Structure 1
Amino acid sequence: MSFLSNILIEKEKEVQLLKQQYQQHGRRKTEQEKSMYQTFMESKTMNIIAEIKRASPSKGEINVGINPVEQAQAYAKYGAKAISVLTDSAFFKGSIEDLGAVRNAVDFPILCKDFIIEEIQIDRAKEYGANVILLIAAALPKHRLSELYEYAYSKDLEVLLEVHNETELMIALEIGANIIGINNRDLKTFTVDLSVTERLAKLVDRDDILLIGESGIRNREDVERMMHAGVKGVLVGETLMRSDNLKDTLADLKIAFN
């Protein structure tokens, strides 16, 4: 069974508990002066979505003892344009409380990074202060992706729709996604190949679509590859979570567009 299949089986159980136990307690402020889409499209430098990621199924523990607020504040101070918070607990050791704490600490867009399969997860992400949610094309049939996409936008949330191959990219385009994340990691095997972004980005010929390169981005050379492929943003997790000098690491990744 693949990594993704195992994660989704566990996520189904989690969502059933969520439906039984979750009660909304009033929304946090999530409105931004500029959306992530607008911010990234107007930027003159590569936009970094800096991720708070304690662990992963492929790498195990990365930085379990991290203080999400301190990490988020450092990301903001040193030039990230958005923050991704992994809220999955079973495989990534994150929590929705991490997202809420980060929301109270920074003023720019926050991505709720999770395996979203039901509307209630979107409601919870909104309540805890997310501005953007992740939908993964490999995780759901097209009709459910479309339903959840429309539901998120009805809640004034943006959607990063993640794809890994040509079929998934076509689905994202048909749904009307304007923020498409190209994941260099195959969620079935967890192997990483930066050429995935280079290959798929060539198939997007519209200037109004924001492309984000995800996974395997470790240094300036990798960011340059992503820029030449046509992306305007990169999502970086492990590299930043392991960095001993966030100021220098982020400065190295924030290259100017040609």
Structure 2
Amino acid sequence: MEIVPGIHMIEGIIAHCYLVDDAELVLIDTGMPHKTKKIIRYITDELQRSPSDLKTIILTHCDIDHIGNALELRSLTGAKIAAHPYDAEIIAGKKMRKTPKGGMKILFKLLGSFLQVKPFPVDRLINEGDTLSGLAVLHMPGHTSGSIALYDSKRNVLFIGDTLGFRDGVVQGPSKNVTLDMEQANQSVEKLKDLNFTVMLSGHGAPVRSDASAKVQEYIAQIKNRKATR
């Protein structure tokens, strides 16, 4: 589904990923495992492009539902994988993942092997202030230590990963049960207060197609109000 000209959302039941259709294709996140064919099919059928046109895969963070097809896609297309150094260590199997809490912990146990991804090294480490394929990198720790957002200034689009979502018509923070440090996640969101973007695309929930900056400002105000009333 094309959200704005040149940016496509590949919807997932659990998590979405996004294709930036420029001279070279960029994939932002890769969804749950076993979705490689769906992504390749979108490239060939919807975009009328070759899989080899995919040159870059950017992972907003290390969760399985975002990195699930990255290794296979790299093998099939030759694309280079980029991630923040903190989460790259987890993706490579050098550090342990966070353990979900509450009901999510039970769900992860039930899904078992379906959620297993073979560790792999990324090809490029990216951090705050970097620009990759025209996308400015913002380090947004909290949901994970190495969570990032990507800002497309040409199209006024923000790819926010799991730092924020859009549900029931309002911007919401990440689930506490799968977030490493909720306080830090809220602090990261405050980085967005001076950023101008029309569209916000997250890993879960609906896209924010208009007035995204204003909606995020409302969420930031809610965070501040909660702090003030503690």
TM-score by length of 2: 0.36
Higher strand share: 2
Higher helix share: 1
TM-score by length of 1: 0.33
Higher relative contact order (CA 8 A, sep 6+): 1
